[in-house]
Structure formats: C-alpha cells, structure tokens
Copies of this chain bind each other. A is one copy, B any other.
C-alpha cells in the first residue's frame, strides 16, 4: 500500500480541512498516510472525526455540504510531529533553510527518506516548490521543475505548464516544460500523442514576446524531429477551446492565465447570483436554475482536479490550492495516486 505524506499545517483552513480531506482520500483511494505537523492539533482534529464518525464537506459545489463517513479503524495513518509552519507571506528561500522542522520540509523528507511515495501540500506554493526541489532533487537532465495544472475546458481538460514555479524562463526551459507536459498529459488525460502549443499573443509564427519568438523555432524543430506534436501559438482566448492538449508558458504568464480564469469565473457567477436576486421573479427562476448552474460549477471547479503537479523533481509532489476544502484535498490525494503507479518520473527522464 502506497503511503502519502501530508503537510497537515499548510492551507488557509489547515489543519481541519487538510486532515479531513486526507483521511477521505485515504478511504477513497486505499492509501496510507503520514500526517506531518503539530501532533496535538492533528490529534484534536482526528478526535473530532472519531467522535462523530463523519466529516462535513461540499463535493464540488460550494455551500452544499454532505456527510462523508470516515472509518478511522480502516485507515493506516501515522503522525510525524514537527513544530514549525511556513506562512503564506514568508520569504521562501530563507524559511526553507531556517525552518528545518516545518511541516512542509518534514513532509517532503518523508518522501526523500523513502517512507512515503508522494507529498501533498496546500501551503505556500513557493515553499512547497522549494522544499520539494531541495528535498527531492531534480530528475537527471531537468533544468528547472515546473508546475503542471489541469484546466477544465468545453471538452477534455488541458494541461498548462508552467503554472507559476518559474517567473523568468529561458527558451530551453520552455522546451523542457513541453516535454514534461506531454509525458504528464499522456498519463493524466490518457491522450496518446498530445498536441503542444505555446501561449502567445497573436496566432501566427513570429508573434509574441522575445521569449516566445525564441522558443517557437526550438519547438518547431522538436516537432520535425518527431519529439513532440507542436501546433503553434495559442492565444489567451484559445486556452479553453482545445486547440492544444498541452499549453507551454513561462510561470509568470501561466500563473496569470490560472488566476484570471479563476477571477473571471468567480465574477460571472457572482453577477448571475446578484442578477437573479434583483427581484422576486428572479429569485424564483434562480431557485429553479440552481441545479443547472451547480452542474456547471462542478465542471469548472478547480477543486475537482485537487492539485497541481510539480514536474521535474525526483518524487511526486502535489501542490494543492491554498483555499483547499476537504473535497479539494481528497482530490489532491487522488491526483498523487493517479500518477504514482504510472512511473511519471521515469517517463519524464526518458523524454528529456
């Protein structure tokens, strides 16, 4: 049975939703857990679950909570105590080096020591990334690890890489992101020969910033050598229309895509709510429309994908959203389990 290390202290609602989600994930995916963090706080949360026998969580639609039964007797979990926590605002490099006894550093160490097969954290993305990089090292040949994110679209999801690990990139880094993204899309989306595009402004070759213009010919050459299936530039509005299965971007632009998508969707859904509430007939129609809108919410909800994968490190490291609910955390465990048995890192090593 695989064992997953959980950074129990990372996340806006930690340790509560983190532990709830991890235990739920252990139940659903049949894995063991190493819960890493302040023992007292972790035990207090587990005690609550022991007393009731269930947790309350939404299942992909906000504000609609269900009872999820958790049978602690059936879950194989251990607790590893550590004292420190790295906060969201802390300078990443420093805190990783100084706080050797922090939950994220210790959780990564559990993978490095071979006790666990994967680590999941909903804490500071920068800290999780740095801890994974320092603790696990890079796959041979990989210059810089990158974050692969699965985004919902009208049809099958797309893989965006880099989602924010590297703010400044070289063309060579982007070509590696393409290769890692392809390896990941093959496994996670089950596509045999995923198409690859590069995020740009303007559709034609020669459009974009200096980085894109320099990377384009390199990707084109890899295409001609049969290494990847390159389809050219992808504009911001084309991210969601499945023009490519894998979209390559520097971490700055990639993260902006992620966050703007989140922001736009959130604004639209709020507007819809407000609009329906504007009069009594609207309230009535809104009530009837609710199940339909809820299905859409579930389709576009990032929580369904649970976490982003840090590709390029020697081990499985899943970075969950800071605002992770128990449901999101459960799915983050699922995301780790999914790639665990498919030797993603072996495949990345092969392709680089």
Contacts and interface: CB of A to CB of B under 8 A. Distances in A.
A8 to B, nearest CB: 24
5 contacts: A154-B271, A201-B251, A236-B255, A267-B300, A285-B288
A156 interface: no
Given A204-B89, A295-B275, A260 B282 contact: no
A296 interface: yes
Given A235-B259, A257-B236, A209 B296 contact: no
B252 A236 contact: no
Interface stretch (A67-75, A238-246, A331-339, A344-352): A238-246
A278 B291 CA distance: 12
Contact of A258 (B204, B236, B270): B236
Contacts of A143: none
Interface string A285-297: 1101100110110
A135 to B, nearest CB: 22
A191 to B, nearest CB: 20
Contacts of A238: 259, 263
B268 A167 contact: no
Interface residues of A, number: 59
A236 B251 contact: no
A285 B289 contact: yes
Nearest to A285: B288
Contact of A237 (B202, B262, B288): B262
Given A257-B256, A258-B236, A285-B285, A292 B264 contact: no
A255 B266 CA distance: 20
Contacts of A257: 236, 256, 260
A288 B289 CA distance: 9
Interface string A111-140: 000000000000000100000000000000
A312 interface: no
Contacts of A259: 201, 235-238
Nearest to A154: B267
Interface in A214-231: none
A237 B265 CA distance: 9
Contacts of A209: 167-168, 250, 252
Contacts of A268: 264-265, 268, 296, 300
Interface string A186-216: 0000000000000101101010111010000
A65 to B, nearest CB: 23
